Structure 1
Amino acid sequence: MKKKGLALAVAAGIMLALAGCSGQTVQENQNGGVQSGQTASGITGETARTLALQQAGVAEEDVLASGVKEDYDDGVSCYEVVFYTKDTDYEYKIDRTNGTLLESNKETFDFSWGTPQGAGITKEEAQNIIMEQVPGAKADNIRMKAEVENGRIVYEGEVIYENAKYEYEMDAQTGKLLEWSQGDLF
């Protein structure tokens, strides 16, 4: 009789343990909503991206490019999420185990400036030269500012297009590219 009771208790314990291993859990977030996309080992990269977009208040259709990679921050397993809109770059670190926001940064660009006095080519002409270097890119993909370096005006910035980042520096007198590099979003 004792063996039968012990066997029933062991069987019940195994069933309870297996019932808790469904592979996907649901957790309430700080706003009282339900957070899905969390597995027994933590949240997915796509869930981290969605959480970052929600935190930033950015709609999916406003994202020019984005990326997610696994990382460690002070020993905590996290996702680094980056995404770019027309005028702002965002970077988030989100805990992989529970979706907690660990860090966020954003950089907003002011594109209201005009062609600087003394420039040989206009801001718009410079954008067209850059778009020729990255077929398919539009003006919204280009970040540009004018600076004076060693007594001459240069346009410098980056192009965010199809999950790549291109950095450049251009002579504002001639339109000649002085520097050009291509890399990933991170």
Structure 2
Amino acid sequence: MKKSVMKAGLAAVTAMLLITGCSGGNGAAGNAANPTATQTQQATQAPQDTATNGTEITEQRAKEIALENAKVAESDVTAMRVKKEMDDGVWRYDVEFYVQNKEYDYEINAADGTILSVDYDVEDDFAGQANSAKVSQEQASKMALDRVPGASQSNLTIHFEMDDGRAMYEGKIVYNEREYEFEIDANTGEIVGWEEESIYD
């Protein structure tokens, strides 16, 4: 009788162990399967790009911003130059233009169009001095352009000014990734100053 009871008890314990083992195996298998499914989900998800790709303003827009701020119509501008350059880690447009005896120089942030600086100069008695010059602005422009083969009027900015009592034409030519600065005597036509450098300098 005792042997029968012991056998029955052993059978019950063995059955419980088998059931527990199966449950544990299924749980382990389930846990092993879940990470695989999670990894597959992560692999198929595209990484989120938190960087913003801002669109820079165009050269034309930089001109418009400067002219609007100066309250000047483009048709009244006698010469204009726009140059994009990096300064202190910021890309900016340098917009320089002339209206009669007034000189305007703007620096505009290329990323958002913010005006970073404005410089404005007025030359006294400009009209009388310019009219008395023996060399016209058109002649001075041609002299400068002749020294840069391929450059045209669209690459040129030029203006008249008095420098220590001397009538001068000063200007710049930006062409083929080079920048040329010049000074021409307005009475003799002599090129008294000429500098050349890369636009990236």
Name the TM-score, length of structure 2 as normaliser.
0.53
Alignment of 1:166-181 (within 5 A): 166-181=180-195
Structure having the larger proportion of residues in strand: 1
Q: Does 1:2 align with 2:10?
A: no
In 2 relative to 1, CA 146–103 (structure 1 residues): closer, same or farther, beyond 3 Å?
closer
Q: Does 1:143 align with 2:157?
A: yes
Q: Does 1:183 align with 2:191?
A: no
| Residue matched to 1:15 | 44
In 2 relative to 1, CA 84–133 (structure 1 residues): closer, same or farther, beyond 3 Å?
farther
Aligned amino acid, residue 130 of structure 1: A
Aligned Cα root-mean-square deviation (Å): 4.0
Percent of aligned positions that are identical: 21
| Residue matched to 1:27 | none
Higher RCO (CA < 8 A, seq sep 6+): 1
Alignment of 1:14-53 (within 5 A): 14-16=43-45, 18=46, 20=48, 43=53, 48=56, 50=58, 53=60
Alignment of 1:75-154 (within 5 A): 78=90, 80-82=91-93, 92-94=108-110, 116-154=130-168
In 2 relative to 1, CA 153–168 (structure 1 residues): closer, same or farther, beyond 3 Å?
same
Runs of 4+ in 1 over 3 A off after TM superposition: 18-21, 40-44, 47-50, 52-58, 64-71, 81-94, 99-108
Q: Which runs of 5+ in 2 are unaligned?
A: 1-29, 66-80, 99-103, 121-126
1:143 Cα deviation from its structure 2 partner:
1.2
Number of corresponding residues? 148
Q: Which has the larger radius of gyration?
A: 2
Name the TM-score, length of structure 1 as normaliser.
0.57
1:135 Cα deviation from its structure 2 partner:
1.2
Q: Is the 8 A contact 1:84 1:160 kept in 2?
A: no
